[in-house]
Amino acid sequence: MVQFKKKGLWSKLSILIGSHMPAGCSNMKNYSSSSYSLLPRKKHHHRVCSYAVAVFLVVSVVVICGEDFRNGFRRTLQRQDQWRRPPRLESLQHQTQKVLEVDPLPFAVVDETSKSTKDDCGIFNGKWVYDETTPPLYDEGECPYIQPQLTCQKHGRPDRGYQYWRWQPHHCSLPRFDAAFMLEQLRGKRMLFIGDSLNRGQFVSMVCLLQSKIPKASKSMETFDSLTVFTAKDYSATIEFYWAPFLVESNSDDAVVHRITDRIVRGNSIEKHAKHWKGADIFVFNTYLWWMTGKKMKILKGSFSDEKKEIVKMKTEDSYRMAMKSMIKWTEKHVDSRKKRIFFTSMSPSHSSSNEWGGEKDGNCYNQTTPIEEPSYWGSSSKTIMQVIGEEFGKAKLPIELINITQLSEYRKDAHTSIYKKQWNPLTPEQLANPKTYADCIHWCLPGLQDTWNQLLYSKLFFPYR
């Protein structure tokens, strides 16, 4: 027996079969709407009628149900097309989670708790909680590797409250940062931060988080042009930073002398920098601040050594997309995602205008001592750049995991170095009279916010399944 579940289908079939049945085959048993038998009464017509009914049955189903088949096929194509479309930035973490469910990622800790966790808790969505019971993971004076541009306490900052704000995700808690555990996991490995001074700050934060577990004679910090290397000798491990503010080649590539207002980027050229990245096991990229000039970017078509240079201007978003494509293309060619991990730290916000959060007129981060409490607050960070990141990473052939620090850092107007840093040039009487005129509202004090960035990185690196 064959069951028809679609109401009214058999009545349509019976009309078609009855009107087109060969002679001698019309005298058949009565059929119910729910079942039927394809046996003619006369035995000598058995084979002919069976074939005839079978042919007409197939043709009839195609005629009647053709529209359903076409609609179903069209829906399948739409689903495939939707999968091919680049996801929005907020869906990248979900996409990464789908990868996690297929194959365990390198460095990821897989245990029974991890296996039972199917949904990412969203560690980048949460709130800042003031917690004096939980001290910073290190003290400024205990870490000799912090640059004087980031040592706020040493340069006179009167408060310490910015060190006691703890990031609390809405639906889970961050794993406790365990320096000894991380060093063991990095044994024989190379962790490389690549980008601008903000990524260098995150690199220094990571060194400070780890170095206290290493005897003085077993650690070192050396700089080789654009590359700075912290070595944990007992672990045969290195934490490194490579200066490349645009990722691709530019006229701002000197790690010391790079304050150039007329910035020029060389097309899709990344190999000048990338040849120093080969062999790394964990990559942490960033680039953003240097693109935000307020003008179109200058793109060099040839080489910086050419006597006559061909330069075109390009919209910031288009030139940024070019750099993202170059980075992704290089990683797809040179990084084995079965053994290595790639991260990208999203845009670090600035707080140069207090008008953005309803503060005093002409103010900025100077004298700010508490975070912004409005959950929906978004300052001057470029949403179009965020969109470019989402689109390009969504098309990548290997997983590039986003450390989305932008929104949670938008709240932290209190965490910048402000005026509490080494000043490389003597301050004028006018500046001394009005400190907010020279406040640095881009970089962050250490210890401070960037330690949270690394806690998030730590969580995604070792515990992506929780």
Which listed residue (197, 326, 337, 418) is catalytic? 197
E strand or H helix that includes residue 200: helix 197-211
Q: What is the mean pLDDT of residues 109-133?
A: 77
Instruction: State the pairing for strand pair 126-130/165-169.
Output: antiparallel
pLDDT in tens, 73-97: 444 333 333 333 334 455 555 555 5
Q: What is the mean pLDDT of residues 103-122?
A: 71
Q: What is the mean pLDDT of the chain?
A: 83
For residues 128-142, one letter each, b for 16 or more C-beta atoms within 10 angstroms of the residue's C-beta and e for the rest, the string is beeeeeeebbbebee
State residue 257's pLDDT score: 79
State residue 282's pLDDT score: 98
Q: Is the pLDDT of residue 437 over 90?
A: yes
| Lowest-pLDDT choice from 108-117, 137-146, 246-255, 455-464 | 108-117
The residues, ordered by sequence, that sit 6+ positions from 440 with a Cβ below 8 Å of its Cβ are 149, 416, 417, 418, 419, 421
Known active-site residue 250: no
What single letter denotes the amino acid at residue 120?
D
pLDDT in tens, 367-421: 999 999 999 999 989 999 999 999 999 999 999 999 999 999 999 999 999 999 9
The reported pTM is: 0.79
Which listed residue (319, 443, 451, 459) is catalytic? 443
State residue 92's pLDDT score: 55
Known active-site residue 351: no
Q: How far apart are CA 312 and CA 296, in angstroms?
A: 9
Known active-site residue 269: no
pLDDT in tens, 272-291: 999 999 999 999 999 999 99
State residue 188's pLDDT score: 98
| Lowest-pLDDT choice from 30-34, 169-173, 230-234, 381-385 | 30-34
Among 398, 395, 359, 399, residue whose Cα is nearest residue 379: 359
Spans of all domains in the chain:
9-83, 89-244+282-287+336-382+395-462
